Structure formats: C-alpha cells, structure tokens
Structure 1
C-alpha cells in the first residue's frame, strides 16, 4: 500500500509540475505556443488529466479553465497522498527506508513547534 501511495504522489508531482510549466509557456509563448516544442511535450504529459476532466466536467466549464481545474485536482490528490503516506509511516511502516527520512523531518517539525 505504501508503494501505491508513493507512486500516486510521484505521478501527481510530475503532472503538477508539467501543468505549471505549461501555464508559464502558455503566457510566454502566446499565440505561437502550438509551435513551441517544450509546450507540446508538456501538453502531451498533461493531456490525460485534461481530457478526463473535459469528460467529467459540464459543458459550461470553458476549455481555458481546465488547466487551472486540473492543477487544483492534482494538488488535492497530491496532498491526500502525502497525508496517507505519513499516516502509513506513523502506523505500519515506521522502519521502512522510505519512511525514515519523512518521520525524522516530521519529528523535527513537532519539536520546533513545541508539541
């Protein structure tokens, strides 16, 4: 289960950063963005998410807003996956190598906040 949650979190990070990069290139490249090779690569990475959102969202949601909506949903799934990973590390997998650094940082933050 820990590996599945970690993979979901990693995929959200890849898609989220791709959406951010695509948004930056959308602004910088302007009307020529369809000829911009990096923009096309990022659009290829993010297209499964935006196509799934287009299928799920009602028609009154404009295509221009799908990128922002996709980023919001990816961020929420990433946040959820992070919380689930922390929960699993605190309960079942405290000795797992993927959890040791995470738990160490978590304990340092608790000590700094005085809890």
Structure 2
C-alpha cells in the first residue's frame, strides 16, 4: 500500500511540475510558444491531465483555462494522496514507513 501511495504521489508531483513549467513558458515564450520545442514537450507530458480536466469541467470553461483547471485537480489529488499516506503511516507505525 505504501508503495502505491508513493508512486501516486510521484506521478502527481511530476504532473504538477509539468503544469507549472508549461505555465511559465506560456508567459516567457509569448506569441511563439506554439513553435517552442520545450513548450510542446511539456504539453505532451501534461496531456493526460488536460484531457481529464476537459472531461470533468463544464463546456463553459474555455480551452485557455483548462491547464489551470488541470493544475487544481492535480493539487487536490496530491493533497488527498498525501493525507492517505499520512493516515496509512500512522496506522502501521511511523517506523514501518521509512
């Protein structure tokens, strides 16, 4: 169980960092961000989260706001997994979680 929680936490952490990186490149690259290689690579990494955000969000949310929605989803899931990990570690003992 602890291994599963660690893997889930790592996947969510990578997703959050990817979304933050894409947001920074969105600001720094300006109008030519669609031709930026790194922006496109980070977009590929973030594709599962943006697809999930598009599926969950209502149609009134425009496409430009979907990465922010994805970041909020990843953030909430990361907090949930972290709390589950803390609860699991308390139930089995702190020494067993190391």
| TM-score calculated relative to the size of structure 2 | 0.92
Aligned ranges 1:19-30 → 2 under 5 Å: 19-30=19-30
What are the ranges of 5 or more consecutive residues in structure 1 without an aligned counterpart?
A: 101-115
Corresponding position of 1:75: 75
Structure 1, 26-35 or 13-22: larger mean CA deviation:
26-35
The equivalent of 1:110 in structure 2 is: none
1:95 is paired with a residue whose SS is helix
Give the unaligned 5+ runs of structure 2. none
Measured after TM superposition, the shift of residue 94 of structure 1 is: 2.9
| Segments ≥4 residues shifted beyond 2 Å | 93-96
What is residue 111 of structure 1 aligned with on the other side?
none
Deviates more, 1:87-96 or 1:9-18: 87-96
Higher-RCO chain (CA-CA 8 Å, sequence separation at least 6): 2
TM-score by length of 1: 0.79
C-alpha distance in 2 between matches for 1:81 and 1:11: 11
TM-aligned CA deviation for residue 54 of structure 1: 1.1
Root mean square deviation, CA, Å: 1.2
| Contact 2:52 2:70 (8 Å CA) reproduced | no
